[in-house]
Amino acid sequence: MITNIISNSNFTKNRKGKVNHSNFNLTKNLNYGTFGICSSEGGYLTSEQYDNIRNDLIKKLKPFKGKFWFRSFPNCTRSQKTAEVRMGRGKGNNSYHLLKVKKGTILFEIDTNKYSTNLNFLYSLKTKFPFKTYFISNYVYNKKII
């Protein structure tokens, strides 16, 4: 699903690079929703994991008419050679897409009418990430901060 969207990139095969695991702090302001999930360490999120999280959000927020916004997108490709191929003959084909997540990046935001449903959604989705995450909110005593 995601591979159709990403096909128009400048470089078809990216290098591995590094994920900065140091104390890298971005702004922790929510732009769209009232609750969000932020990463507390660096790591990689593959396009399959991204799709699973997105599908779970759609299923769980549909009865409450909630909204969600992803603040990041898997835009880096990872190449891999096929099995039993000899050394040499160039780099392998693109096998999957991934998102490099730095420490302190906001991954997504959600907004529903009920405070408790937001927390339940976030607790259930927190286990789907391959790295540690924590919650951010704009709520103070059931009133929004503007």
**13-56 residue pLDDT tens:** 777 676 665 555 555 688 888 888 888 888 889 889 999 988 98
- Per residue in 81-122, pLDDT (tens digit) is 888 888 888 888 888 888 888 888 888 888 877 777 777 778
Domain membership flag for residue 11? no
Note down the domain range covering 126. 23-80+91-144
Asked if residue 6 is part of any domain, the answer here is: no
Pairing type for strands 76-80 and 35-39 reads unpaired
Read off the CATH number of the domain in which 124 is found: 3.90.1170.10
pTM above 0.85, yes or no: no
Q: Which pLDDT score is estimated for 10?
A: 60
